[in-house]
Structure 1
Amino acid sequence: MKNLIISFFMIFIAVIQANSQSRCDKECLKELSRGVDFIQFIYTPLTMSEPFKSYYAGIKKLATIPEIEIGRKDIKVALIIPQDVIKSYSVVVSDSVFAYIFKRDVGSHIEIFYSGNESAENLNLAINRAKNAGFKYLIAPLTTNGLEIVNSDDYDDLIFYIPTINIKNISNPRSNLFFGGIDYEAQIQKLLTKANHKITAFGDGSRVSDMLNNLVANNTNEPYIKNIEGSDIKLNFLKNNYKVKNSSIFLNTPLIKSALLSSQFRVFELTPHILLSTQLNYNSALISLTQSGDRKNMYIANSIMTPDSQLETLSAILGEKLDYDWVAYSTMIGMDFIYLNYINKSAKAIFKEEMQNNQIQYNINIMRAGNYGFYFDE
């Protein structure tokens, strides 16, 4: 943390000197680091001239190393990462843990144990390596396949936090497993309060999409469900499709396909009653990928409530947009849960979400997509 703060100071001193302003003392720099100007500076590193780019790169390199030891080891947490399975989320999870440590400004020992895939052999090897290294608290971004291996009495002496799975998706979880996954079923049920009686759901054949389509089917009466698979997207089936016309349409598709579909409903003169999406499409890029008319009647469920600008800033330094990435958000909540319940019970919580029956309980807000971002539906 000391080196990170020094890097912050170097940047601000360089900026101030370049602008021929008065030199800023430590208190001044602390205030700058909490402000909007600092956030904008971090979010736009490509606009910086030398030597500012090199300072920014130095911070990012420092902040993403796989192990940080800073004096005391107040927090000792292992990350079990099946990188071949969760792919880019490997970086999201590790960066989120480091951002949380920087926010708390406490001594830490964070170590990553890679398993590659979620085979029993590889996961057990990674977990036992962490256990033999003295780790009791583990954050493991697994799928339900990997969770079957962790849900074993072999690991009753360890505390697992699973940021990627909701407890509804696992049968008979053991008491040492805690979950932070989004409750997609609750999001769909809340979105259905906006819908009419005619329901359509589009997917792309992926695991997440199929799961969402099944939830729509389980909570509605005979919905029309259609998968659009592959990159060669043919939408001629939309022509004169009475099943889609004037229906409440769930876009259980990735961002690009959701944006494309939203435009084609107008092209084929289908006039949907409403467009609906879960957390899957709560992404700032949706605004730039869609026309204002196409998202006029679009409603999106969101469970991310960023606690403060400082944590958002630290996430931005590491290349993460905390207010749109629910895996990053869930991981930080898990770190807060471990810290407050097992390490420092007198500390003040950073997040408002609570753990109930081994599952983080999220609020759900319905958002509208405007011309400049998302806003709350009233």
Structure 2
Amino acid sequence: MVDTILPGIAVHRVETARLTAQVLERPAAEPGPPDATVLFVHGNVSSSLFWQPTMLTLPPGVRALAVDLRGFGGSDVLPVDAARGLGDFAEDVASVADALGLDRPHVVGWSMGGGVVMQALVEQRMPAASVTLVNPVSPYGFGATDASGKLLTPDAAGSGGGGANPDFIARLRDGDRTADAPSSPRSVYLGTYVTPGFSSEHDDIWVEAMLTTALGEANYPGDSTTSENWPGFAPGHSGVLNTMAPTQFDVSGIVDLDVKPPILWIRGANDVIVSDTSLFDLNHLGALGVIPGWPGEDVAPAQPMVAQTRAVLEAYAERGGAYREAVFEASGHSPLLEEPERFVAELVAQVIGEAPTAA
């Protein structure tokens, strides 16, 4: 068995009215109140385990907490209502923050976790001192929208639960820890979570985190419906991938918040998951010839995910907020793992106000 908890990290079970969540903590080492409290939210097919190196590297005066979302890590496996977008997850995280007595923590969301954080902001569930979005899902969801966030088809064909790779799901279910197939969790991690060629001493832990994903129509990936539009399916009503379908998820309303916490947007330049040319966007895969029958650029263009995020954040700034974009040129979807020193430096600059020292 792999020891998944690094030295210096404590594991807690936090009971709320919504769920019992597993929370990792690196306590502040200095006596008295912490200089700052940071709450980390992980992405899809992962868990809080991914945050451990970052938590351990933060200054000793910072209290670091990372929560497992429902159906991931050690938190309760509960159904996910996709009609709420990422609302189930957002409300869960807010309930954990409340149970822990957190007062305006600095919140960090990675990938889907970035969407969870944005939805929590829009729903005004959890006041935040600052927000850091790490390769976040677009404010308009995942797939099937144009540059302005408008649906390409009324049913958002090609997005949602039907887009998951069945062999990947089967290998998650079987607990495959090998890299024997392109669709094994380890291969997916090495090929898409990070820039190909990158590896770390903790890769076994990251695979274990992926394998905690609860599977099924109520969890990952979710259900789907048939569609008359290419590629023949549309989002369903439950499960993880449908929470980010653009028919269910739109948090572009962050621009209208009365209270706008400062936002740091960290993104890896080599990301192939959240990208204007995402390898998980079926329209882009159709253009590449991977999926047959693609109806063409005029009908099914790739979603410009990065451009959409930038447009929304620029509007956020124009309406009184503040944001900063930090591009990690040597990173893919996981700058927290791939360029850890710079990642922590940028985060410390956001949380404590010290200038980044790592290039």
TM-score range, shorter chain: 0.3 to 0.5
Q: Compute the TM-score of the two structures, normalised by the length of structure 1.
A: 0.36
Structure number with greater Rg is 1
Q: Compute the TM-score of the two structures, normalised by the length of structure 2.
A: 0.37
Structure ranking higher in helix proportion: 1
Structure with higher RCO (Cα < 8 A, 6+ apart): 2
